[in-house]
């Protein structure tokens, strides 16, 4: 660590790392969800469009 966080550094680092991990997980989950849902939607739209065309 480049800077000194005093005697309670463990708690501060744990707090920041914990929040960072959870926020990263949240962002990752929302991104993953968004990707998979929109891929599925475009597949379905293609399928229904083809059916309509026939």
Partner 1 sequence: MSHSQDRPGFWTRLSNPGQFLIWSRPLVVPLVVVTAAVFLVGLWFALVNSPEDYQMGDTVRIMYIHVPTAWLSQFVYAVMAVSAIGTLVWRHPMADVSMKAAAPLGATFTALALYTGSLWGRPTWGTFWEWDGRMTSTLVLLLIYLGIIALWRAFEDPLRGARMVAILTLVGAINIPIVKFSVDWWATLHQPASVLRADGPTMPGSILTPLLIMFGAFTLLFIVLHLVGMRTEVRRRRIASLERRLAQRGA
Site for partner 1 contains 47 (CB under 8 A): yes
What per-residue string of b and e applies to 16-31 under the rule 16 or more CB within 10 Å gives b? eeeeeeeeeeeeeeee
Interface of this chain with partner 1, residues 9 to 28, rule: CB under 8 A: 9, 11-12, 14-16, 18-19, 22-23, 26-27
Q: Provide the minimum distance between the beta carbon of 9 and partner 1 in the complex, in angstroms, as a whole number.
A: 7
Q: Specify the DSSP element, H or E, that contains 30.
A: helix 9-53
Binding site for partner 1 (CB under 8 A): 3, 5-9, 11-12, 14-16, 18-19, 22-23, 26-27, 30-31, 33-34, 37-38, 40-41, 44-45, 47-48, 51
């Amino acid at each position: 660590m480049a800077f000194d966080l005093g005697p309670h550094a463990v708690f501060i680092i744990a707090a920041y790392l914990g929040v960072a991990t959870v926020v990263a997980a949240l962002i990752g989950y929302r991104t993953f969800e968004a990707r998979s849902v929109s891929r599925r939607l475009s597949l379905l739209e293609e399928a229904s469009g083809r059916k309509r065309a026939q």
